[in-house]
Structure 1
Amino acid sequence: MSSIAKRLASQTAVYGISSIVGRVLTYLLVPVYTGRFAAAEYGIVTALYACVSFLNVLFTYGLETTFFRFASRPGTDRQLLYSRVLSLLIVSSIVFSGLLAWQAGALLRLLKLPSGQERYAVWLALILGLDAVAAIPFARLRLENKAQKFAAIRMANIVLNVALNLFFIIVCPDIMAGEYLTVLQPLIARIYDPSIGVGYVFLSNLAASAFTLLLLARELAAFRFNIDVASIRPMLVYAYPIMLMGLAGMVNETLDRILLPAWLPEGFYPGKSSETVAGIYGACYKLSIFMSLVIQAFRYSAEPFFFSQSTEKNSPATFALVLKWFTLCCAFIFVFISVNLEDFAKHFLRSAEYREGIAVVPVLLLANLFLGVYWNLSVWFKLTDKTYYGTYIGGPAPYSPSC
């Protein structure tokens, strides 16, 4: 393995360790959810978080990759570019979050979820807005090869999210039920509302997203609001095909969880409602998370790496070597999890009701492996400023712009 590829591997390891540890902590919530919530309740979480994954692409609309590409061009004032991209995201995030909160009821009806839970969609709108604003400061850390700080902030976000989930979903109900620490009941009664129930999953995420912006204070302090109309068009021309490609990817990755409760005929699975089936599928989907972790960690380090290596003479050979080792690692994960699937399911899916759907896990693992290979191969049109090819692959393109 070349020294350049080894450097990429070491950076991927930093991102990967933080992602794996963080996701393992998050994954520990699956037994909590499946033990404390009925499958129908967990189906609400599954459907709305599927929308979050989809809407994240719209909220950032390809500006992370655009930031990397424009920052790699000779003579670029990176500080000015950073301020302009972040200014654009702040404005758009306010608009998008406001629209989503305004149409909270329509979103629930579209997903055929129970009415009266519009506050969940409002909280999701705020989460999406905060995460979109944080995306460019995180991209700047990646561009500057500050993998350790990036990983530390991500970990802090996840730890806080997990801690709040455990507090509101386990500790507070148990104290109010008199199982332990009954002396704290008056205090808990002030901060805990049992009627929120599964909504604490979203509130915990919201608090963690807000805390993340506080941890990015130094990066945000370097920001100066700057909207330059002349610079926006070339950035959007480069970014919009990436956004469409991202949407196509999210359609493949998350649309199943959105459409399952909406399209599944009532009674298709005897004795189970569509929400219950969605909850079972969503819990089983979590077992494919290990493949996603590797791909996510690789993308964090690979995107700035690819752009920095694009002008090197031997870059095609380097990219081919990267793809080979990436595919080998992912193939090993696929085989390992598939062979030990029953053991994984027994530990993470506590209720037998949820383990009925584990047959889908190898299919999801293999799909994620193919997605990672595609992501590697798609780097060429990003490096050559021909991002409209991403639109051709993901869907029809009206024209082929040049940047």
Structure 2
Amino acid sequence: MIQTIVYSIGTIFPKIINYAFLKFFTKYLKREEFSLYSDMYALSFLVIAFLSFGLENTYFRFLSKKTYNKKVVFSTGVIVQLFIISFFLIISVNSIKYLVSIAGYKNHSEYFFLFFFIIFFDTLCILPMAWLRVNEKAIKYTIINIVNILIQSIFIIYMFTSYNSTTTNATNSNSNIPLIKSYFSIFELVNSFTDKTGYIFFANMISSLTNFFLVFPILLKEVSLKKFSKILAQKMLCYGIPIMFGTIAFSLNENLDKILIKRWLSDEMNGSYSACYKIASFMSLYIRAFRLGIEPFFFKKSEDSDARHYYEEITYIFVIIGLIFYVLICGNISMFLGFLIDKKYHVAISIIPIIMMGYLFLGIYINLSIFYKIIDKPIIGTYISLIGVLITILFNGIFLLIPSFMIPAWGTLTSYGSMVLVLYFWSKKKFTKFCSRDKKTWKIIVYLLIAFFLVIVSNKNKIEIRIFLQFLYLIIVSFLERKLFTRLVRKSKKEYLN
């Protein structure tokens, strides 16, 4: 529990800074500029999903088997990762003209160059950051995250205040890229930006580079060519590739809607949709903080006789706390939306409760996915993720026929909800002991339906009624789950004392 709290600080603080900048960006960026900002990250997430090759989860899994030397597993994973991303960087830099043309960014080729390096360094840092989690160095992990976000924030503020509101030296002649070597001049690079989004990307590149320097001592100390195992590398890739496809599927679920809305509706609408989508991703903050502290211990517990009961308890706690979080955020969304994004972006406010519930389903899926991971069957996750992608593609296909941004939003909820159902019934068949407790399953369904109904009602009533309904929900849940919360507090105290 203490580990979870420390990891949460390292995760929540950067996210809080990002949400603070969300208001800043939506105020000073045009909606079409914010659309470009979100689209570039959407495309990069798809690339990172491919380049990661599922090696983070693979690293956790092979360490839990206790048959491999820790340094051999880490060295092998890092060397494989470095080979993959180095190959990517070489190919990408030499194909930049074709890539910007295909993506429709002929006037923003310099942004692609920045993102090649952002992707390179971010991917290379995945396993060292996982190493910190495995070795329970939560404080160091948190410090690195905080330092990175502070550096990125300083650069953004400096560039937004030091350069003109429109780039001074940039023209559309940017479409003809000068020699790559000219981009190694920082001032040339910054002055080549055609809008303010370039400042954000440049700050991100500096942050990614800083992250690499901070984890470099780990790579220097723990990685050795002598500890590279070709046989282990093959096994890790075989285990990780299905996870990679699952991650790509997840990235498609997350980003296909924004990519299509930009190109099928308008940049203005995509800007509004993307900004409201980011607010809904508050739930992902909770999921990530929970996952960072719990996931390594999931694997450690996998060999224990009470592992299934332990997983049940953790998943149930996750859902209960997640629903409380959902009610408090979405039930008051109209009250504090103005503090998060500029008014011109409020057009897509209706997607927030839908997307946030979808994220909660995603969190449940992530918790349940431990079952196919501990039996070395990540291909199951790939199949289920493909089901989710097919649903996402179906809804986005309907969107192409009926251009309403609500359709992709419902597609996100339906996709993640379907994935949870498929995985639940598979787990029930495979792990009958775990899934035999139908009482808890029905309680979760009831809590979920009440929470969703409560959010709809709350946003249609005065603040007094809203507060009363939410307080009543909290009282009922606290009363019904008093034993669970008491047990959780006792375990936390015990861990703290030890």
TM-score, scaled to structure 2:
0.70
With over 3 angstroms needed to count, the CA separation of the structure-2 counterparts of 1:231 and 1:190, relative to structure 1, is closer
The residue correspondences of 1:305-384 to structure 2 (distance < 5 A) are 305-350=297-342, 352-384=343-375
With over 3 angstroms needed to count, the CA separation of the structure-2 counterparts of 1:60 and 1:191, relative to structure 1, is closer
Which of the numbers 282, 285, 290 marks the counterpart of 1:293? 285
With over 3 angstroms needed to count, the CA separation of the structure-2 counterparts of 1:191 and 1:383, relative to structure 1, is closer
**In the TM superposition, what is the alpha-carbon distance from 1:190 to its structure 2 partner?**
9.1
**In the TM superposition, what is the alpha-carbon distance from 1:209 to its structure 2 partner?**
0.5
Taking the aligned partners of 1:217 and 1:346, their CA distance within structure 2 comes to 41
Taking the aligned partners of 1:276 and 1:107, their CA distance within structure 2 comes to 24
Taking the aligned partners of 1:18 and 1:357, their CA distance within structure 2 comes to 30
Counterpart residue number, 1:200:
199
User: Contact conserved, 2:10 with 2:141, CA < 8 A, in 1?
Assistant: no
1:391 aligns with 2:382: yes
| Secondary structure at the counterpart of residue 61 of structure 1 | coil
User: Contact conserved, 1:25 with 1:158, CA < 8 A, in 2?
Assistant: yes
Q: CA RMSD in A?
A: 2.2
**In the TM superposition, what is the alpha-carbon distance from 1:31 to its structure 2 partner?**
2.0
1:259 aligns with 2:260: yes
1:280 aligns with 2:272: yes
Counterpart residue number, 1:117:
108
**In the TM superposition, what is the alpha-carbon distance from 1:132 to its structure 2 partner?**
0.9
Taking the aligned partners of 2:49 and 2:219, their CA distance within structure 1 comes to 22
User: Contact conserved, 1:15 with 1:301, CA < 8 A, in 2?
Assistant: yes
**In the TM superposition, what is the alpha-carbon distance from 1:343 to its structure 2 partner?**
2.5
Which of the numbers 84, 91, 94 marks the counterpart of 1:92? 84
| Secondary structure at the counterpart of residue 48 of structure 2 | helix
With over 3 angstroms needed to count, the CA separation of the structure-2 counterparts of 1:171 and 1:29, relative to structure 1, is farther
AA aligned opposite 2:125? A
User: Contact conserved, 2:53 with 2:244, CA < 8 A, in 1?
Assistant: yes
User: Contact conserved, 2:60 with 2:299, CA < 8 A, in 1?
Assistant: yes
Between Structure 1 and Structure 2, the one with more helix by share is 2
**In the TM superposition, what is the alpha-carbon distance from 1:355 to its structure 2 partner?**
1.0
Taking the aligned partners of 2:69 and 2:142, their CA distance within structure 1 comes to 26
TM-score, scaled to structure 1:
0.86
**In the TM superposition, what is the alpha-carbon distance from 1:168 to its structure 2 partner?**
0.7
User: Contact conserved, 1:290 with 1:333, CA < 8 A, in 2?
Assistant: no
**In the TM superposition, what is the alpha-carbon distance from 1:47 to its structure 2 partner?**
0.5
Counterpart residue number, 2:241:
240
User: Contact conserved, 1:285 with 1:361, CA < 8 A, in 2?
Assistant: yes
Taking the aligned partners of 1:249 and 1:370, their CA distance within structure 2 comes to 13
**In the TM superposition, what is the alpha-carbon distance from 1:192 to its structure 2 partner?**
5.8
**In the TM superposition, what is the alpha-carbon distance from 1:24 to its structure 2 partner?**
0.9
**In the TM superposition, what is the alpha-carbon distance from 1:159 to its structure 2 partner?**
1.2
Counterpart residue number, 1:159:
150
With over 3 angstroms needed to count, the CA separation of the structure-2 counterparts of 1:105 and 1:367, relative to structure 1, is farther
**In the TM superposition, what is the alpha-carbon distance from 1:158 to its structure 2 partner?**
1.1
User: Contact conserved, 2:118 with 2:208, CA < 8 A, in 1?
Assistant: yes
| Secondary structure at the counterpart of residue 292 of structure 1 | helix
Taking the aligned partners of 1:52 and 1:195, their CA distance within structure 2 comes to 19
**In the TM superposition, what is the alpha-carbon distance from 1:229 to its structure 2 partner?**
2.9
Taking the aligned partners of 2:16 and 2:98, their CA distance within structure 1 comes to 34
| Secondary structure at the counterpart of residue 145 of structure 1 | coil
| Secondary structure at the counterpart of residue 225 of structure 2 | coil
User: Contact conserved, 1:98 with 1:125, CA < 8 A, in 2?
Assistant: no
Taking the aligned partners of 1:325 and 1:120, their CA distance within structure 2 comes to 42
Stretches of structure 1 lacking an aligned partner (at least 5 in a row): 1-8, 178-187, 265-273, 397-403
**In the TM superposition, what is the alpha-carbon distance from 1:225 to its structure 2 partner?**
3.2
**In the TM superposition, what is the alpha-carbon distance from 1:111 to its structure 2 partner?**
3.9
Number of residue equivalences: 366
1:51 aligns with 2:50: no
Taking the aligned partners of 1:280 and 1:85, their CA distance within structure 2 comes to 40
Counterpart residue number, 2:232:
231
Taking the aligned partners of 2:193 and 2:88, their CA distance within structure 1 comes to 28
1:41 aligns with 2:40: no
**Relative contact order (C-alpha < 8 Å, sep 6+): which is higher?**
1
AA aligned opposite 2:262? P
With over 3 angstroms needed to count, the CA separation of the structure-2 counterparts of 1:218 and 1:169, relative to structure 1, is same
User: Contact conserved, 1:111 with 1:258, CA < 8 A, in 2?
Assistant: no
| Secondary structure at the counterpart of residue 312 of structure 1 | coil
With over 3 angstroms needed to count, the CA separation of the structure-2 counterparts of 1:116 and 1:189, relative to structure 1, is closer
Counterpart residue number, 1:217:
216
Q: Which of 1 and 2 has greater Rg?
A: 2
**In the TM superposition, what is the alpha-carbon distance from 1:53 to its structure 2 partner?**
1.9
With over 3 angstroms needed to count, the CA separation of the structure-2 counterparts of 1:190 and 1:59, relative to structure 1, is closer
User: Contact conserved, 1:284 with 1:354, CA < 8 A, in 2?
Assistant: yes
The residue correspondences of 1:74-93 to structure 2 (distance < 5 A) are 74-93=66-85
Residues 69-91 of structure 1 deviation map (CA, whole Å, 9 limit, x = unaligned)? 11122231111211111011111
Residues 129-186 of structure 1 deviation map (CA, whole Å, 9 limit, x = unaligned)? 1011111111111111111111110111111111111111234448x99xxxxxxxxx
**In the TM superposition, what is the alpha-carbon distance from 1:194 to its structure 2 partner?**
7.4
| Secondary structure at the counterpart of residue 66 of structure 2 | coil
AA aligned opposite 2:254? E
**In the TM superposition, what is the alpha-carbon distance from 1:230 to its structure 2 partner?**
2.3
The residue correspondences of 1:167-178 to structure 2 (distance < 5 A) are 167-173=158-164
Taking the aligned partners of 1:31 and 1:215, their CA distance within structure 2 comes to 29
User: Contact conserved, 2:190 with 2:198, CA < 8 A, in 1?
Assistant: no
1:27 aligns with 2:25: no
Residues 271-303 of structure 1 deviation map (CA, whole Å, 9 limit, x = unaligned)? xxx111111111111111221111111222222
Stretches of structure 2 lacking an aligned partner (at least 5 in a row): 169-185, 388-498
User: Contact conserved, 1:47 with 1:111, CA < 8 A, in 2?
Assistant: no
Taking the aligned partners of 2:260 and 2:97, their CA distance within structure 1 comes to 17
AA aligned opposite 2:131? R
Residues 299-341 of structure 1 deviation map (CA, whole Å, 9 limit, x = unaligned)? 2222211110001111111110100110111111211111111
Taking the aligned partners of 2:190 and 2:94, their CA distance within structure 1 comes to 26
